[in-house]
Amino acid sequence: MNLYLRYFNEEILVENVEQAIDFLAQIPEIKLNEPLCQDLRKYAESKNPFPKRFKVSPKVYFIVIKTTAATMEEFKAYATEPDAEGGEKEHPVSSKEMQNRTFTAENPGWYLAKMKMKRVVAIEGTNKFGYVDSDFEAKVKAQSIQDCYNRVVDYLRNRIDVDPRSQFPSIRGRNFSAEFLGQEL
C-alpha cells in the first residue's frame, strides 16, 4: 500500500512511512515531532481505508491517502481506467451523484409533490413573527423531479400569503417528496 501526501501544492506518492517523513521534513511549516510520526505510522499500519488529515497549525492540515496506485499519474487518473479486457471502465458513482442524476433525469409527466415548509407567520398581539410547519401538496406537470421542486418553490414564493422569509426544505431532505403519477391525468 502506497501513501499519497499533499500539503497545499506540495505532493508526493511514497512507498512507506519513512519516505513520507522525509518528505514532510523538507517542508519548513511542518514541525515534525515524535507524536506526529507515531500517528502517521499508526495510520499507515491500520486497516482504515479513509484519508486522514494531520493538523499543522490552526486551520492548516496536510492530507494522507492510502492507495494501490504505483505512480502519480495512475493516482490522478480520474475519468476512466483500463479494465482486464483492455477496454475502459468507469469509476463507481457516489450515492450523492446517483441521487443528483435521479433528480434531474428527464421523465416528463405529472408528479404528486408533497412539501413541509417553515412558514413565517405573525404572532397575534405582538409585533413578532414565528415559524410554523406548513404542509403543501400539489399535482404538478414537470420534466423531472428537480423541475417539479423548482415549480412548487417558485409558486409558493410568488404567493401573497407566503412571507419571503419562509424556509423551504431541500430537495434531498425528508420534507420533500415527488411521486411520478404518469404522462396523463
Asked whether residue 168 is assigned to any structural domain, the reply reads yes
Asked whether residue 96 is assigned to any structural domain, the reply reads no
Number of domains the chain contains: 2
- What integer pLDDT is reported at residue 78 of this predicted model? 46
Q: Closest Cα to residue 55, out of 18, 73, 29?
A: 29
Asked whether residue 129 is assigned to any structural domain, the reply reads yes
Percentage of residues in the chain having pLDDT higher than 70: 86
| Residue 148 burial (10 A CB sphere; 0-12, 13-18, 19+) | buried
pLDDT one-digit tens code per residue, 139-177: 999 999 999 999 999 999 998 888 888 999 999 889 999
- What integer pLDDT is reported at residue 94 of this predicted model? 52
Q: How far is CA 48 from the centre of its chain?
A: 21
**75 plus 109 within the same structural domain:** no
Last residue of a domain, one of 32, 63, 79: 79
pLDDT one-digit tens code per residue, 69-117: 888 888 887 434 555 555 545 455 555 555 566 788 888 999 999 999 9
Last residue of a domain, one of 28, 45, 79: 79
Q: Which positions ≥6 away from 29 have C-beta within 8 Å?
A: 7, 56, 57, 60
Asked whether residue 100 is assigned to any structural domain, the reply reads no
- What integer pLDDT is reported at residue 41 of this predicted model? 93
- What integer pLDDT is reported at residue 39 of this predicted model? 92
Asked whether residue 73 is assigned to any structural domain, the reply reads yes
Asked whether residue 62 is assigned to any structural domain, the reply reads yes
Residue 176: give the domain boundaries. 105-182
Across all residues in the chain, what is the average pLDDT?
Answer: 85
At residue 51, does pLDDT exceed 60? yes
